[in-house]
Structure 1
Amino acid sequence: MKPAQIKQKLLKKLPSALPPMIVILLLFAARSYSYLLFHTTVEAFSFVIAICLFLFAWNTRKIVKNHFFLFLGIVFLYVGLLDFVHSLSYKGMNIFQGFDANLPTQLWVAGRYILSVSFLISPVFIEKKLNYKSAFIAYTTVTVLILISIFKWKIFPDAYIEGVGLTVFKRISEFVFSLVFLGAILKLNRKRGNFDPKTFRLLTYSLTLNIIAGLLFTLYFDVYDIFNMLGHTIRMGAYYLVYKATIEIGLTRPYNLLFLELENLNKRKDEFINIAGHELKTPVTSIKLYSQLLGKELSRDSQKVSFANKIDYQADRMTSLINEILDISRIEKGNLSLEKRVFDINELAKLTIDDIRQNNPKHKLIFKGGRRIEINADILRVSQVLTNLINNAIKYSPEGKRVIVGLQKNGKEVVASVKDFGVGIPKTEQEKIFDKFYRIEKEQKNSSGFGLGLYIVKEIIEGHGGKIWVESKEGKGSTFYFTLPLSPSSSKTKPFEFP
């Protein structure tokens, strides 16, 4: 990297790095004036962050399936309370009479044990639901027992002795904390796919700073010396990184933190739809084949032939629904491929109408086409559009009514229309009928389907660079129009010829 690029990169990061630098300088200034002022400020900062983490996690618990942050929020609530008492009991505060510097150090050790072990446990709640009532009971019990063992029973191990310094218990504990935090980093790394990358990095940096702070806390002799001050400053930085990983990202970029799990669920849903859709096609195809064979074998019994035809019809419906679901999955992933070729849309329309006419003999299907109209499009997809629109026209038209399919050139495009004389569509609903899963309210009880057909049709037409719209009057019928670009006259591609 060139010096100029390095300089530009540093200048970009300067605005975000400046506030922490100013805070550190102010803390050092406070320490030079009074160590108690420094210590109280650091602990107050950490306590506020702990409370904010709890409030944020608690108030988002109903919209976040991942209970990792809810668990940490509860942990920080109790650790923050111990930190608060630790701050009030610090040497020189003179709030708790009859105690020396051992008291705040004991409270510090107790809080670190809770925090480190909880971080080690926390990855469990990425996938497992937390019983928060049990968590409150457990942490309340532990916290109360710690406070009683220190203040009343006085059985908590000594952590600091005046004139001697740190005890062996305190030093060993800090090394234990560091190892437990390291274990937490390794466990989180195994679950990193469940986190936004930035959130994961910030949590890892926070745990690393906790390790460094723990090592520094093994080196001080006096509770006011430089190593103690550095340990507190770095520990404050660790809290700040947890704040950035949860509250700041959660408020400014909530999708990254709170709804990453939805993205993963969507991926799983798409995988399931693809697998289930293709797996269902095989048995449905078999049902259709056997129903047709059965119809031929029972050709002398009209009632049984009717039953076989109904099975065949329902198999077709099932195939159509499966294809719609698969198409929706492809559309949402942007994978709705179009295999374009030049062909005569008049011929395609005639063949499509003939196929539909065989299954709907009671409706009059009329085709109004003109000369050969060549377009460059996906034959199967355009046939799907025509089939959907014609079947809809039949579905919402009384028996014996006409359905008119028209095609005509208009400049550089072809305009197709499918007109029926059925129930029509209310004006208030005409703009919504191309929406996914939308079905006309008054027809919902009488019609089948998921409300996906017209949405898929719209996506296919727009994928070809065309437009689709509807004109309708209640009680008089509807006309659906769509346009597709004509094949360029200069195209040298040999047109597809229908058999």
Structure 2
Amino acid sequence: MNFFMKNSRIKEFIESYYSIILITIILLLVSLTNLVNFLLFHTITELFSIVIAISIFIIGWHTRKYANSQFFVRFGIGAIFVAIIDLLHTLSYEGMGIFTNYDANLPTQLWILARYIQATSFLIAIIPFTFEKSTYFLILIYIITTSIFLTFIFTGYFPDCYIVGVGLTPFKIISEYIIILLLVIAIIILYTYKKEFSKEISILVILSLISTIISEFAFTLYINVYGISNFIGHIFKILSFFFIYVGVIQLGLKDPMRVLFKQLKEREASLNQAYNRTNFYKNLFAHDINNIFQNIISSLELYDLEENNIQKYHDNINNQIVRGKKLVKNVIKLTELDDYKEELKKINLGKTLTNAISFLKESYSNKNIEIDFNLPEERIEIQANELINDIFENILINAVKYNQDNTIKIKLKISVIKQKNQKYAKIQFIDNGIGIHPSRREKIFETDFQKTSKTKGLGLGLSLVKKAIDLYNGDIWVESRVEGDYEKGSNFVILIPLAEWD
């Protein structure tokens, strides 16, 4: 048992430090080649970076549809062009004997071009902008840019970077510092937008950027292409690409699988919610519409029996039709409310409440309704939209529906309060209805799609009210009209932000 436990711990240790062990072995072997032949060391170092750059492009490109971040897709596109230029740099290096008509200036020019593109690629990849064109358009930009500068280099129009017997030119040294500056800017931008990246990826990218900075600084110091500064610069170049490669494996291969499974689970949850929502609307609509039809049928039956009360039953039928229209309207609005994006505007609170009161009295002309409402002298404007009419109408209609008194009394109170540096209009709808038990006060605003069997109807209106007020960044709750005795009636309190004056 202890043997297996030890083996398990060894395996965990190896997996945890696999990258560190691997890069240490690589650096050790590559450094040993420098003792044998610098040209061999240089070639292996460059080919290692080239292979990694190509791998970054391949993985980033083929996982672009699944990765949450576009970093490795964008950087990978730049990396493939860096790899092409680095390959030319390797083949043109002094001692390779391929570009025989050029001296050590050519590989140095190619090097500086590759580093400019690499630094620019870091910036393009890190900045979280939305690229409206396709990634193919980005590739086209790289093709055109790279082709132009390669033409300048091979035709002699690119500034000299190295003069045999003298060393690095001012242009080359200044360019290295400009590249270092671009990389520092990339680190600052990465820190600014760190929320766009996972902690592991951020660390790996920063390590890659720091390694590249050290590498570039080393390349400002050498006089001979076979010098120690050149050696150090190439070692840190390996580290730079290695850190990015580890990040690509993490984000490009492991994360897409996690993202894929996450998306499948989210889709499953979404389908289940849609199914439950459909059942909820079906049961709720069926319950309320059945009540409406039943009331209409009852009125028609009594219509023939009591000729003296024809107007009463006519009004009742009319009220039920109004209820039906309102129910259909609310169902449609509630189903669309999650995607409702109408711009908020200034709404005259007093005028809107007056219209809602008129609608209520017209809808329940057969009821004895007393409404205590005095328009405030000061004009109050709130930040809302057309849904505000439905909100007030729903609250008022519920005050009538859930009231058993012969005289239905509703009192409206308006005030202005301030909370957390925001001014709100506070509207209170106080009625003498049957009241709401304290244990149900929060549940009446919920749209519980899971408990369709317990649906009693009419909760749809308050679900709409709650969702609409959330759109306004407002609030709604219910209290007892008489503290300690919920059966004496309810007080629905609504807070809606005041509109800002221009």
Interval of TM-score (by shorter of Structure 1 and Structure 2): 0.5 to 0.7
Q: Which has the higher contact order (CA 8 A, sep 6+)?
A: 2
> Are residues 378 and 126 of structure 1, via their aligned partners in 2, closer, same or farther at CA, if it must alter by over 3 Å?
same
Name structure 1 gaps, 5 residues minimum: 1-7, 270-290, 326-354, 356-375, 395-448, 450-496
Aligned to 2:185: 183
Counterpart of 1:163 in 2: which secondary structure?
coil
Name structure 2 gaps, 5 residues minimum: 1-9, 271-291, 297-310, 340-401, 403-438, 461-485, 489-502
Q: Pick from 101, 105, 109: which aligns with 1:106?
A: 109
Aligned to 2:35: 32
Displacement, 1:99?
Answer: 1.1
Map 1:10-25 to 2 at 5 A.
15-25=18-28
Aligned to 2:167: 165
The CA RMSD measured in Å over matched residues stands at 4.4
Q: Contact between 1:299 and 1:305, CA under 8 Å: does it hold in 2? A: no
1:265-288 deviations in Å (ceiling 9; x for gaps): 99xx9xxxxxxxxxxxxxxxxxxx
State the alpha-carbon separation in 2 of the partners of residues 212 and 63 from structure 1: 33
State the alpha-carbon separation in 2 of the partners of residues 119 and 190 from structure 1: 14
One-letter code of the match for 1:77? I
Displacement, 1:71?
Answer: 1.6
State the alpha-carbon separation in 2 of the partners of residues 18 and 165 from structure 1: 37
Aligned to 2:323: 309
> Are residues 168 and 15 of structure 1, via their aligned partners in 2, closer, same or farther at CA, if it must alter by over 3 Å?
same
Q: Contact between 1:51 and 1:80, CA under 8 Å: does it hold in 2? A: yes
Counterpart of 2:101 in 1: which secondary structure?
coil
Displacement, 1:121?
Answer: 3.1
Aligned to 2:94: 91
Q: Contact between 1:196 and 1:260, CA under 8 Å: does it hold in 2? A: no
State the alpha-carbon separation in 2 of the partners of residues 79 and 385 from structure 1: 55
> Are residues 217 and 323 of structure 1, via their aligned partners in 2, closer, same or farther at CA, if it must alter by over 3 Å?
closer
Are 2:52 and 1:49 equivalent residues in the alignment?
yes
> Normalized against structure 2, the TM-score is what?
0.54
Q: Pick from 196, 212, 228: which aligns with 1:226?
A: 228
Aligned to 2:84: 81
State the alpha-carbon separation in 2 of the partners of residues 298 and 97 from structure 1: 108
Displacement, 1:119?
Answer: 1.9
Displacement, 1:133?
Answer: 2.6
Identity %: 31
Instruction: Judge which range, 18-27 or 91-100, deviates more.
Output: 18-27
Counterpart of 2:159 in 1: which secondary structure?
coil
Q: Contact between 1:67 and 1:127, CA under 8 Å: does it hold in 2? A: no
Instruction: Judge which range, 297-306 or 214-223, deviates more.
Output: 297-306
Displacement, 1:302?
Answer: 4.8
Q: Pick from 135, 148, 152: which aligns with 1:149?
A: 152
> Normalized against structure 1, the TM-score is what?
0.54
Displacement, 1:222?
Answer: 0.8
Aligned to 2:140: 137
1:209-251 deviations in Å (ceiling 9; x for gaps): 1111111101111111111011011011101111111234421
Q: Contact between 1:67 and 1:130, CA under 8 Å: does it hold in 2? A: no
Displacement, 1:53?
Answer: 1.2
Displacement, 1:388?
Answer: 2.0
> Are residues 74 and 387 of structure 1, via their aligned partners in 2, closer, same or farther at CA, if it must alter by over 3 Å?
closer
Q: Contact between 1:71 and 1:125, CA under 8 Å: does it hold in 2? A: no
> Are residues 87 and 62 of structure 1, via their aligned partners in 2, closer, same or farther at CA, if it must alter by over 3 Å?
same
Displacement, 1:306?
Answer: 2.9
> Are residues 162 and 250 of structure 1, via their aligned partners in 2, closer, same or farther at CA, if it must alter by over 3 Å?
same
> Are residues 122 and 322 of structure 1, via their aligned partners in 2, closer, same or farther at CA, if it must alter by over 3 Å?
closer
> Are residues 33 and 124 of structure 1, via their aligned partners in 2, closer, same or farther at CA, if it must alter by over 3 Å?
same
Displacement, 1:127?
Answer: 3.7
Are 2:83 and 1:70 equivalent residues in the alignment?
no
Q: Contact between 1:120 and 1:184, CA under 8 Å: does it hold in 2? A: yes
Displacement, 1:379?
Answer: 11
Displacement, 1:128?
Answer: 3.6
